[in-house]
Chains A and B, each alone.
Chain A
Amino acid sequence: MTIDNLHQLHRLIARNRFWEKIFIVFGILSLLVGIITLLALLIDMTIDGLPRLSWQFFTSFPSRKYEEAGILSAWVGTCLVILVTAIAAIPIGIASGIYLEEYAKKNWLGDIIEINVTNLAGIPSIIYGLLALGLFVEQLKLGRSILTAGLTLSLLVLPIVIVTTREAIRAIPNSIREAACALGASKWQTIWDHILPYSIGSILTGIIIGLARAVGETAPLITIGALTFIAFLPDSPFKSEFPYISFNWLQAEFTVMPIQMFNWVSRPDPEFQSNAAAAGVVLVFMTLAMNAIAIFIRYRLRRRIKW
């Protein structure tokens, strides 16, 4: 090898090293773009909204006067809607997940259900709003109520619950199933006594992440006609007389946090926009807290379970 060739080789190596360094810089930059935007968003919103965050903000109804307006009906509405969503989506989601993973045979029905779940996850959320408007509100006459909203969001959350349930069940080794079978347990006994208890933690993670998404979802609820100005609370579910529980609140009109925020953002006056920022801080806190709980559960599980 001549000296010349050696120099060429050195130059080539240097050039490649140079491009690699450039790429690493770009890689870090593109990670930073997302993270810096996230920080800018959180800081900007907190600065705008913090002065409005007070006890009074949580305990007042919306108002024409910005300094008296609050989010009482919005956060109560969000909690009730999410309650309905959870009650509807959790059993159906887990049941579908179990069916697809443990029962479904490799035939056309299984394939169709499988393709369906994947497709449903890709449908824009506003389309679910149109389904709810056409079906729940107009055909089934459920009204623009908490029940309609909860059911709409449960359809949206369902694919997430199904997918996480399937992944959780798939992660359980077959030896568990074989052991249960060898002791004479039926299929359902195996699932109920073993598969579900072992996978419930991961399933819970998925459910919480799905519900966190439902908390922030706005478009489908606007589509079914949620109101933005609600100055009353739904009927209380607990009564002092027999039968002590009432379901009238399901039919109540409602508003939720993101819709209240949207309403305040679209107003021209900056005072209401700082109300929107305050509502946004509460909303982000709610969703991030739910995600944090999910991450915490996942972390605990990863440490505990070793097959």
Chain B
Amino acid sequence: MSEKYLKLSPTIHLAPRIIRNLRERIVELLLLGAAISSIATTIGILGILIYESFSFFQQVSIIKFLTDTEWSPLFENPRYGVVPLVSGTLVTTVVALSLAIPLGTIAAIYLSEFASPKLREIAKPCLEILAGIPTVVYGYFAYLFVTPLLQIPLPDLPGSNMLSAGLVMGIMIIPYVSSISEDAMRAVPVHLREGSYAMGATRLQTALRVVFPAAISGISAAYILGISRAVGETMIVAIAAGLQPILTWNPMEEAATITAYIVGVTQGDLPHGSLEYQTIFAAGLVLVLMTLVFNILGHFLTKRYREVY
């Protein structure tokens, strides 16, 4: 009897513990697998873009791609110069930012330093709704409301133009800029403000000369996020700025962006493996590299100007 008990005892006491440890290990591995899916996504994106662009660049030289000023891959004599698409992207981005950065920054300073808590509680969600509206709805608004409105003072404005697309895009970006900038400014310690007030500065002087510089790393991160949004925005420009790849720096003309080109081409039926099919991946690679440059720039700016309290 006692022999049997001795034999059984390790299994009775150890079995639950082994099962329990095993279960813990399995759960951890499953969770790790889920977390690694994000790395797989990044690898997938870069892999697909580089793979398809590679076959594209075997037929079109990279130098031609970067320097030719005409983009007409669907014509008889196709030409593959990405410059017009990049110029369209940059013009709409600059128009959007020249609206979003001043308005977003002023709104952020006002909400953080001047507004009463009650106003802030109301205004913040209202601004965040702006970021939640589907972009195709903004495209509709830019094309059928803002453009006709702009045509009253500017009668020569064509129906598709980068100006109205950029302006509406700027409105859409305001909440991205203002909400992150405001968080950065509210994180500035109160004693810096108190020190400034003690020296006789007004609230405005404190906001502009103490709080703003102290929060500059967060604010520049907000700007960078705004730039990435503007560069990658698709539906507003596809609807309101047109689908013609034209090399122009004038926002009052129509021109396609990189994203608008991809949307325009994929609306039709693209045979897999054709050169046209590969162009969208080459264009996508340029887009990813542009956003990547801005992101890295933002990273360094943030590090460079970070203030340690």
Answer yes or no: B284 CB below 8 A from chain A CBs.
yes
Q: Which of A99, A112, A134, A159 contacts B281 (CB 8 A)?
A: A134
B39 close to A112 (CB less than 8 A): yes
Evaluate contact between A31 and B123: CB separation under 8 angstroms.
yes
Beta-carbon contact of A126 and B48 below 8 Å: no
* A195 / chain B contacts, CB cutoff of 8 Å: none
- The distance in angstroms between the C-alpha atoms of A230 and B86, with both chains bound, is 34
- Contacts of B120-136 to chain A: CB distance below 8 A: 123, 125-127, 129-130, 132-136
In the complex, chain A residues whose CB is within 8 Å of the CB of B222:
none
Q: How far is the CB of A103 from chain B (nearest CB, A)?
A: 6
Q: A96-B31, A112-B39 are in contact. Are A284 and B234 (CB under 8 A)?
A: no
Chain B interface, DSSP helix/strand/loop, else mixed: helix
Which of under 10, 10 to 19, 20 to 34, or 35 or more describes the interface residues of B? 35 or more
The complex places the Cα of A187 from the Cα of B231 at a distance, in Å, of 43
Contacting pair B171 A113 (CB below 8 A): no
**Contact between B34 and A266 (Cβ–Cβ < 8 Å)?**
no
Quick one: which of B27, B106, B168 contacts A27, CB cutoff 8 A? B106
| B209 CB within 8 Å of chain A | no
Stretch in B61-69, B70-78, B197-205, B246-254 with 4+ CB within 8 Å of A: B197-205
- Please, how many angstroms separate the alpha-carbon atoms of A266 and B14 in the complex? 70
Count, A-B residue pairs, CB within 8 A: 255
Q: A277 in the interface, Cβ–Cβ < 8 Å?
A: yes
Specify which of A155, A215, A273, A295 is in contact with B125 (CB 8 Å cutoff). Answer: A295
Given A116-B39, A122-B228, A218–B202 Cβ distance below 8 Å? no
Residues from chain B with a CB closer than 8 A to the CB of A96 are 31, 34-35, 37-38
Within 8 Å CB of A120, what residues of B? 38, 41-42
Q: Is the interface of A mostly helix, strand, loop or mixed?
A: helix
Q: Which of B42, B133, B145, B239 is the one whose CB lies under 8 Å from A284?
A: B133
State in angstroms the CA–CA spacing of A212 and B128 once bound together: 13
Q: Which of these, A28, A31, A99, A261, contacts B32 with CB under 8 Å?
A: A99
Task: Indicate if A146 sits at the interface (CB-CB under 8 A).
Answer: no
Give the number of chain A interface residues (Cβ < 8 Å): 86
Q: Which residues of A contact B110 (CB under 8 A)?
A: 23-24, 26-28, 30-31
A contact set with B: CB distance below 8 Å = 16-17, 19-20, 23-24, 26-28, 30-31, 33-35, 37-38, 40-41, 44-45, 48, 91-93, 95-96, 98-100, 103-104, 112-113, 116-117, 119-120, 122-131, 133-135, 138, 155, 158-159, 162, 186-188, 209, 212-213, 215-219, 222-225, 228, 258, 261-262, 265-266, 273, 276-277, 280, 283-284, 287-288, 291, 295
Q: Which 5 A-B pairs have the closest CB atoms?
A: A124-B232, A27-B110, A216-B134, A95-B34, A134-B48
Seed contacts A113-B36, A122-B291, A219-B262; 19 additional CB < 8 Å A-B pairs: A19-B202, A20-B202, A26-B106, A30-B104, A31-B107, A38-B126, A95-B35, A96-B38, A99-B32, A103-B32, A123-B45, A129-B266, A131-B44, A134-B48, A216-B135, A219-B135, A258-B134, A258-B235, A262-B239
